[in-house]
Amino acid sequence: MIIVIDGTTSSGKGTLAKRLAKHYGLPHLDTGLLYRAVAKAAMNAGVDLRDEAACAALAADIDLADFDERDLRTAGVGTGASVVAALGGVRRALFALQRKFAHRKGGAVLDGRDIGTVIAPDADVKLWVDADVEERARRRFLELSGMGESVTQHAVLMQLKERDARDSQRQDAPMKPADDAVWIDTTRMNPDECMAKAIEVVEAKRKR
């Protein structure tokens, strides 16, 4: 069974993906980490994040095992990830790896922005997870402050809006729900409620 979860930043899709993978005993790939790793590698090497050829070359060799996840989760790397993610060459370089993961024997859970539309349009279950931007900014602010970053909630809100715009307006694989995705709005849901709703959707699909 392939379960894909697309949606906006800090909507709760990452937590949901991890929990669903555990619940169904499936491997999980957070595809955002791939774009974050490309951005981090480019920053480390002093490569311009808009240099498509150089960033695509880094993407072709990217291995998440070479990175400490905490270094990839910062706000700066998140913004950088959305810049390199708009480069077609980077997306093409990361395509095969993601597709192979999705089609592992036994299935997989993947979360990102274009998984249901581009990477695995044949997935058994497609979820689109979103929440009001103010609520997402509140969650992200708490997460970043907890990681020791000195940010204000207003600055986080502005960054999220900028990232949403860049992710949904790019030409190549823009962030959008697949036509057959089931929508989950987590604005007024806690992680347990969100998980219960997702399991309901998966079980309904399995019965068919």
Shorter beta-carbon distance to ligand C5P: residue 12 or 32: 32
What tokens were used for 166? 């860049």
Binders in 93-112 for ligand C5P, by CB under 6 A: 112
Of the pair 81, 202, the CB lying nearest ligand C5P is at 81
Selected binder of ligand C5P within 4, 40, 82, 144 (CB under 6 A):
82
- In 3D space, the residue among 113, 117, 127, 114 whose CA is nearest the CA of residue 21 turns out to be 127
Closest to 67 in 3D by CA, of 94, 39, 96: 39
Q: Least distance (Å) from ligand C5P to the CB of residue 134?
A: 18
Query: Alpha-carbon distance 113 to 177, whole Å?
Result: 8
Q: Does 78 bind ligand C5P (CB under 6 A)?
A: yes
Q: Which of the ranges 51-59, 79-87, 187-195, 199-207 carries the binding residues for ligand C5P, by CB under 6 A?
A: 79-87
Torsion of CA 107, 198, 123, 135, to 10 degrees: -120
Q: Which of 19, 87, 120, 167 binds ligand C5P (CB under 6 A)?
A: 167
Per-residue x/- mask for ligand C5P, residues 12 to 41, rule CB under 6 A?
Answer: -------------------xx--xx-----
Instruction: Name the 3-class secondary structure at 2.
Output: strand
User: Cβ neighbours of residue 77 under 8 Å, at least 6 residues apart?
Assistant: 36, 39, 40, 43, 71
How near is the Cβ of 98 to ligand C5P at its closest, in Å?
7
Q: Within 10 Å of residue 74's Cβ, how many Cβ atoms?
A: 16
CB-nearer residue toward ligand C5P: 107 or 112:
112
Q: Which residues, at least 6 apart from 172, have a Cβ–Cβ distance to it below 8 Å?
A: 86, 87, 88, 91
- What is the rounded CA–CA span in Å between residue 120 and residue 123? 5
Closest to ligand C5P by CB, 25 vs 51, is 51
Minimum Å distance from CB 114 to ligand C5P? 5
Build a one-symbol-per-residue string for 188-207: x at contacts with ligand C5P by CB under 6 A, - elsewhere: --------------------
Residues that bind ligand C5P (CB under 6 A): 9, 31-32, 35-36, 78, 81-82, 85, 112-115, 163, 167
